[in-house]
């Protein structure tokens, strides 16, 4: 397990698709933690006139932009899902910019500790060494599939194909210092979040 400590106490929050990372992050935010969401940063970078768009279009061509100048996420998702080389080229553009933006956001954090919400924290190979603790939100694979199907309209096969591109549940749990179970809904989440919040407060002092 990771025991690294930086200048300030930080937590890397991760979990597979449909596990409920955003809900957990919102609960921590409600208790006063500063949340730095790498997905939100990536969306900002690829929004209309986003900072990453010129490099993306130079690399992949104008067909990967929507009429308003944002990243055509559907087209890009289809490409990188089937082409590991393309995924690597996209990550080479986005990851340094995301890293700089997360560092800037953490530098102005006002909470007692920072939670970096990183969906692919384990997959990245670098994030775990940059945070004080890794927190995984966990639920059964069947729950993941059901949640994603309900919110996105994807088929079960499509959801499981996305899950197959992520580390396994066992790998994620093995890499985690702390785990929140999210199989039983919101009422079961808050007590777990509160306990960890109190622990993180004590560790951050």
- pLDDT category of residue 84 using cuts at 50, 70 and 90: confident
Tokens of 60: 């992949």
Q: Which of 55, 97, 95, 50 is nearest to 70 (CA)?
A: 50
Annotated binding-site ranges: 18-23
Backbone angles phi, psi at 136, to 5 degrees: -105, 135
Q: Which residues pair with 63 in a beta bridge?
A: none
More confident residue, 199 or 81: 199
Annotated binding-site ranges for ATP: 18-23
Backbone angles phi, psi at 133, to 5 degrees: -145, 155
Looking at 60, 89, 110, the residue that finishes a domain is 110
- pLDDT category of residue 77 using cuts at 50, 70 and 90: confident
- pLDDT category of residue 4 using cuts at 50, 70 and 90: very low
Looking at 61, 89, 110, the residue that finishes a domain is 110
**5-20 pLDDT per residue, tens:** 334 899 999 999 999 9
At 1 the pLDDT is 38
| Structural domain for 71, as ranges | 39-110
Whether residues 190 and 160 share a domain: the answer is yes
What pTM, to 2 d.p., does this model score? Answer: 0.86
Task: Return the DSSP state at 111.
Answer: S
Averaged confidence pLDDT in the chain: 91
At 205 the pLDDT is 86
Looking at 83, 110, 137, the residue that finishes a domain is 110
**What is the helix (H) or strand (E) element at residue 57, kind and residue range?**
helix 53-60
Q: Quick check: 139 and 30 in contact, CB under 8 A? A: no
Whether residue 185 lies inside any domain: the answer is: yes
* CATH number of the domain within which 168 lies: 3.40.50.300
- CA 125 from chain center: how many Å? 13
**89-131 pLDDT per residue, tens:** 999 999 999 989 999 999 999 999 999 999 889 988 788 888 9
């Amino acid at each position: 397990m990771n025991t690294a400590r930086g200048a300030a106490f930080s937590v890397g929050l991760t979990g597979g698709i449909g596990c409920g990372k955003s809900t957990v992050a919102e609960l921590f935010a409600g208790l006063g933690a500063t949340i730095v969401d790498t997905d939100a940063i990536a969306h900002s970078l690829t929004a209309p006139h986003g900072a990453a768009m010129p490099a993306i279009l130079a690399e992949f061509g104008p067909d990967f932009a929507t009429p308003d100048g944002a990243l055509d996420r559907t087209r890009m998702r289809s490409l990188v899902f089937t082409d590991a080389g393309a995924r690597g080229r996209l990550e080479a553009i986005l990851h340094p910019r995301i890293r700089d933006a997360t560092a800037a956001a953490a530098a102005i954090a006002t909470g007692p500790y920072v939670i970096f919400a990183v969906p692919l924290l384990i997959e990245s190979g670098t994030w775990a060494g940059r945070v004080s603790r890794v927190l995984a939100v966990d639920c059964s694979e069947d729950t993941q599939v059901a949640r994603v199907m309900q919110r996105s309209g994807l088929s079960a096969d499509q959801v499981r194909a996305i899950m197959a591109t992520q580390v396994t549940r066992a790998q994620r749990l093995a890499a985690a210092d702390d785990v929140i179970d999210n199989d039983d809904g919101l009422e079961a989440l808050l007590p777990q979040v509160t306990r960890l919040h109190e622990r993180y407060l004590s560790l951050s002092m």
